Amino acid sequence: MKFDTPATTNPIDQLKVIGKPTSRIDGPLKTTGTAPYAYERHDVVPDQVYGYVVGAGIAKGRIASLSVAEAKAVPGVLAVVTHETAGKLGKGKRNAAPLLGGPEIAHYHQAVALVVAESFEQARAAANLVRVEYRKTDGAFDLARAKDAMGDSAEHKKEDSVVGDFAAAFAAAPVKLDETYSTPDETHAMMEPHASIAAWQGDRLTVWTSNQMIDWAATDLAETLKMPKEKVRVISPFVGGGFGGKLFLRADTLLAALGARAAGRPVKVALPRPMMANNTTHRPATIQRVRIGATADGRITAIAHESWSGNLPDGKPETATDQTRLLYAGANRLSGTRLAHLDLPEGNAMRAPGEAPGLMVLEIAMDEMAERLKIDPVEFRILNDTQVDPEKPERPFSQRQLVQCLRTGAERFGWSKRSAEPARMREGRWLVGIGMAAAFRNNLLTKSAARVRLDKRGVVTVETDMTDIGTGSYTIIAQTAAEMMGVGLDRVVVRLGDSSFPASAGSGGQWGANNSTAGVYAACVKLREAVAQKLGFNSADAQFADGQVGSGNRRVPLAQAAGDGELTAEDGIEYGDLDKKAQQSTFGAHFVEVGVDAATAEIRVRRMLAVCAAGRILNPLSARSQVIGAMTMGVGAALMEELAVDTRGGFFVNHDLASYEVPVHADIPHQEVIFLDETDPMSSPMKAKGVGELGLCGVGAAIANAVYNATGVRVRDYPVTLDKLIDRMPPIG
- Tell me, yes or no, if the two domains 2-35+445-578 and 354-443+584-728 fold the same way: yes
pTM of the full predicted structure? 0.98
Q: Is the dihedral of CA 409, 414, 419, 420 positive or negative?
A: positive
Separation of alpha carbons 205 and 362, rounded Å = 47
Residue 705 main-chain phi, psi, to 5 deg: -70, -35
* Bridge-based pairing state of the strands 61-67 and 204-209: unpaired
Residues making up the chain, counted from first to last: 733
Looking at the domain covering 2-35+445-578, what would its CATH class be? Answer: alpha beta
Separation of alpha carbons 68 and 123, rounded Å = 13
Separation of alpha carbons 503 and 239, rounded Å = 17
In this prediction, residues 5-13 reach a mean pLDDT of 84
Please measure the distance between the N-terminal and C-terminal CA atoms of the chain and give it in whole angstroms: 68
Coil, strand or helix at 320: coil
Residue 114 main-chain phi, psi, to 5 deg: -130, 125
- What pLDDT score does 444 carry? 95
DSSP letters of 336-370?
EEEEEE--SSPB---SSTTHHHHHHHHHHHHHHHH
Separation of alpha carbons 484 and 569, rounded Å = 13
DSSP letters of 201-263?
ETTEEEEEE--S-HHHHHHHHHHHHTS-GGGEEEE-S--S--TTTTSS--HHHHHHHHHHHHH
- What pLDDT score does 733 carry? 67
Tens-digit pLDDT profile for residues 66-75: 999 999 999 9
Tens-digit pLDDT profile for residues 244-301: 999 999 999 999 999 999 999 999 999 999 999 999 999 999 999 999 999 999 999 9
Judge whether 342 and 140 are in contact, CB under 8 Å.
yes
Judge whether 421 and 709 are in contact, CB under 8 Å.
no
Q: Band the pLDDT of 732: cuts 50, 70, 90.
A: confident
Q: Band the pLDDT of 152: cuts 50, 70, 90.
A: confident
Separation of alpha carbons 514 and 481, rounded Å = 14
CATH topology of domain 354-443+584-728: Aldehyde Oxidoreductase; domain 4 (3.30.365)
> Which among 363, 368, 570, 693 is annotated as catalytic?
693
Tens-digit pLDDT profile for residues 426-451: 999 999 999 999 999 999 999 999 99
Q: State yes or no: pLDDT of 580 exceeds 90.
A: no
Q: Band the pLDDT of 92: cuts 50, 70, 90.
A: confident
Separation of alpha carbons 402 and 586, rounded Å = 9
- What pLDDT score does 579 carry? 78
Query: Can 570 be counted among the known catalytic residues?
Result: no
Separation of alpha carbons 21 and 622, rounded Å = 7
Q: Band the pLDDT of 644: cuts 50, 70, 90.
A: very high
Q: Kindly state the helix (H) or strand (E) to which residue 172 belongs, with its residue range.
A: helix 166-172
Q: State yes or no: pLDDT of 156 exceeds 90.
A: no
In this prediction, residues 690-709 reach a mean pLDDT of 98
Q: State yes or no: pLDDT of 154 exceeds 70.
A: no
Q: State yes or no: pLDDT of 155 exceeds 70.
A: no
Judge whether 502 and 515 are in contact, CB under 8 Å.
no
Domain range list for the chain: 2-35+445-578, 354-443+584-728
Q: Using N-to-C axis directions, what is the helix angle for 355-373 and 699-711, rounded to 10°?
A: 40
* Bridge-based pairing state of the strands 111-117 and 195-201: unpaired
